[in-house]
Structure 1
Amino acid sequence: MTDTTSSPQGVSPGGASGDPIRRPVFVGPHLARRYARERRFRLLGLASVATAGVILLILLGSIVSKGYSAFWQHEVDLDITFSAEELNPDGGPVERETLLRANYLDMVRDALKREFPDAADDRRERRMLYGLVSPNADLALRNMVLEDPSLIGTTQTVAIKMSDDMDTFAKGFIDRDLPEGDRRVKDREISWHDHLEAEGRVHAAFNVDFFTTGDSREPEEAGIYGALIGSILTLTVTLLVSFPIGVMAAAYLEEFAPKNRFTDLIEVNINNLAAVPSIVFGLLGLAVFLNFFGLPRSAPLAGGLVLALMTLPTIIIASRSALKAVPPSIREAALGLGASRLQVVTHHVLPLAMPGILTGTIIGMAQALGETAPLLMIGMVAFIVDVPQSFTDPATVLPVQVYIWADSPERAFVEKTSAAIMVLLGFLVLMNAVAVLLRKRFERRW
């Protein structure tokens, strides 16, 4: 008879009568190796997370370090004389057409020449002197006079935006110690800047125009407002098209469609569409919406439809997952009380699955907000100055605006590009945060 009472842990005692007793097997070394492998795996996991975090911090640090300066703009205070001879030559009632035709740029140049009379006689120096301020400085004066005609005939101290090169120099991005031939700002311009700064005429102000104006060829005048409105209009079309179609398709496939080869083929194709490169949807939109249906090029309507096609698979997959998460007992109880299949879905299943559906929809919309390639194919890469007012007006979106500015040669557009990326990332983080809050607030665990 085999004695099993004294067998150590991990030892298999002998079986039937007459079988030899197995030798003891000590598991200590095996456990030690397994624990060592687990510790190594954990360390590798932590190292991977730390590496990803460091790379993310480097990326964000690079963007912020290049873009934070775009949120302020240097201005110079000039004594502008709003000449009555120029603005109201007839001396009668002030007419808006006369104010619109007036030469406000000469008023800015006269103020600069009064400040630096020694540069007024040399043509080359005059051109450099006029380059201290933005070429569009006259627009600010025109708007001032249109809002307040009582300025006519007076001299006012007006804050005028400096040019992109002088603003870059004032922010310290151009080294004055470099040889004159190696920098865009010349010694004469630096001396004028130092003179104005010593008089307290140069100051930095929050760049409100960055958020309130459209694109411009001049970096100091360029803003993201037009692209922001274009993004809102485009995403509105995307949401209005993709959300109802995606939810209805998911509800049909999950609750009503028979399980056969045809529905299996549809499900496979939906999953495959979610992995199709986005530029393919742009080609589809170019062929169908623009060439076949004749929709306006570079319009939020066409862009929204293209992004809706791209977003549909994401919404359908997320909606089906949310519908599957609803317990079958909910359906059975409603059917047992006499509800129809449609009433079960619309009155019970969809409301319970809506938090998950909304979460997937917001994530899909966030993905659409960051897309550029499909919109380039339908012409939304055009230079758009005016802010779009409707779904058919020419427009661009934030990612495309970033692409346009990144391709511009001016140094000042570098900070504009990074600042626009910061705004875009802010919107993406906000949308994902809303998705997380909705899931935590309304999600039910069964």
Structure 2
Amino acid sequence: MSSLTAPGPPAPPVSSRRIAQLAVPALVVLAAEPLYVLVDTAVVGHLNRVPLAGLAVGGTVLTLIVWLGTVTAYGTTGRSARRFGAGDRAAAVAEGVQASWLALGVGVLLLLLAQVGATPLARLLAGDDPEVAAAAAQWLRIATLGAPGLLLAAAGNGWLRGVQDTRRPLYFVLGPNVLSAALCPLLVYPAGLGLAGSAVANVVAQTIGGLLFVGALVAERVSLRPRPKMITDQLVLGRDLLVRGAAFQVSFLSATAVAARFGAASVAAHQIALQLWFFTALALDALAIAAQALVGAALGAGDVAGARAMARRFALTGLGCGIVFALLVAAGTPVVPSWFSADPQVREQALTAWPWFVAMQPLAGVVFALDGVLIGAGDLRFLRNLTIVGSVCAFLPAIWLAYAFDLGLGGIWAGLSLFVLVRLVGLLLRLRSGAWAVAGATR
């Protein structure tokens, strides 16, 4: 059901400058965490292959928490943006308050579960290598201490994007991550903590970031008391994002598990390629953040025609950005893998995934932009179903066939490419149908 507003005159077309004002700060925010992970990977990679493989396994598990943060941020952005577009800033901020309570509760629960389940989960993912499993479990127990802060920061990002403020998140995320990037090599090497130093640096960044976003809510001078009804509504409306994200996580966890069964060099190389993929994906996803805010606000104000025009513009912009990223990644082929590991076997394995990595960029640019359009529009059920189809019918079969036929990392990354292609086709068909563009302060 949609709470419809009376449609007013169409808003003027959104300018490139306005898109840039939202997307560029969001780009820095989105890139900060994966850029830190790349620094982390490079620092740990020069210990030896076992710590790097342990980081690959532990880091993949931690992406489950990052995924929950993304669900929280994206769900909050859409709801806040519609209320902001309807002219009710206080209601938009109230969505952020309740999302923050939800984030805190889930973060503490995950922290406690990780202390109990880190070892069996690491053993499951690491296969027959006990050294890698032990390293992953040690890293994971420490790193998950930052889960509450990570999720609080995600909720804060969500409501601030919804009210079209991407500048404060820039400072709240970039500052702690720069501090953490400086701490990581110091803790790993001079302090002698090794892989554990990497986890401690993660916790520092996430905790400080979460506190900064809580401070932004306090400064709004709105009621901070929890409202169980609104929290429940957020959980119900966010279920499609949760299921969609679960499909992603099952796919990526399976890919890591398969890579681990090809050996320590393969899973270490997969970590390098995967973190670079996440970095470029989230950088391209800056357009999705702008799309969520602008499309959600347009539909909240009743401007369906404007929202559809924005969607087409975001798709073309995403394609252009993806082409630029493909050229940059291709140019870095001879040197980039060596930044993350001195092991020749690891570098050789990383280059196996590289052609797929390059080819995916233009397709991914369109996919991420249109994801943002549909999230801003609240068309979450369609996104859920499309992701499940892509995962179950394309990605998962491809990576397990890669294992069965010993196709190595090339087979795994071919599966990821197929996954992106399936989503691209579905999103373009949905965009053309116009069924996603429903006006109103809520959907």
The TM-score with structure 1 as length reference comes to 0.28
Name the structure with the higher helix share: 2
Higher relative contact order, structure no. (Cα contacts within 8 Å, ≥ 6 residues apart):
2
The TM-score with structure 2 as length reference comes to 0.29
Larger radius of gyration between Structure 1 and Structure 2: 1
